[in-house]
Amino acid sequence: MPAPKRILIIDDDPSITKLLKIKLEARGGIVTAETTVPYQAAALAKEFLPDLIVCDIDLGETDGGEVAQKISADSRTGSIPIIFLSSMITPDDMSQRSGGRRLISKKLPFAEIIELIIQEIPA
């Protein structure tokens, strides 16, 4: 059996991190770590070494772009793909990329969001 894929979820709303965790892990073969505290995200990434990071954009005291930059700047976590998941992204925005990163709108039906995240997990 292959090792489970690891996903790190960064969102300042705990109701969202819990929901994503439950729905992603329900797919099987996935484990998640999650944080609602943005400045802990980079440290958690180094420790957890996920295969994929899902990050909100509006994180209250900081924004997702800064968190992503910090993670990418570190040699141990620099190659991990990061997806932005935010309600600031409209479904129309999703064709674009931000700093080479995939954009997903929170306004999509939830099942679709989960599918799109799964698709982004590197093989």
Q: Would you tell me which residues interact with other proteins (CB under 8 A)?
A: 13-16, 18-19, 22-23, 26, 58, 87, 106-107, 110, 113
Please state the closest distance from residue 55 (CB atom) to other proteins, in A: 14
* Backbone angle region of 115, left / alpha / beta, with phi > 0 → left and psi within -120 to 50 → alpha: alpha
- Distance, CA of 96 to CA of 80 (rounded, Å): 19
Q: Nearer Cβ to other proteins, position 39 or 110?
A: 110
Nearer to other proteins, 74 or 115 (CB): 115
CB 57 within 8 A of CB 33: no
- Beta bridge partners, 30, equal 5
For the bound state, the minimum distance from the C-beta of residue 49 to other proteins, rounded and expressed in Å, comes to: 27
Side chain identity at 98, as an amino acid letter?
A: S
Smallest distance, other proteins to C-beta of residue 56, A: 9
- Local structure of residue 37 (DSSP, 8 states): -
Amino acid identity at 82: I
**Pick 22 or 37: Cβ nearer other proteins:** 22
Least distance (Å) between residue 44 CB and other proteins: 22
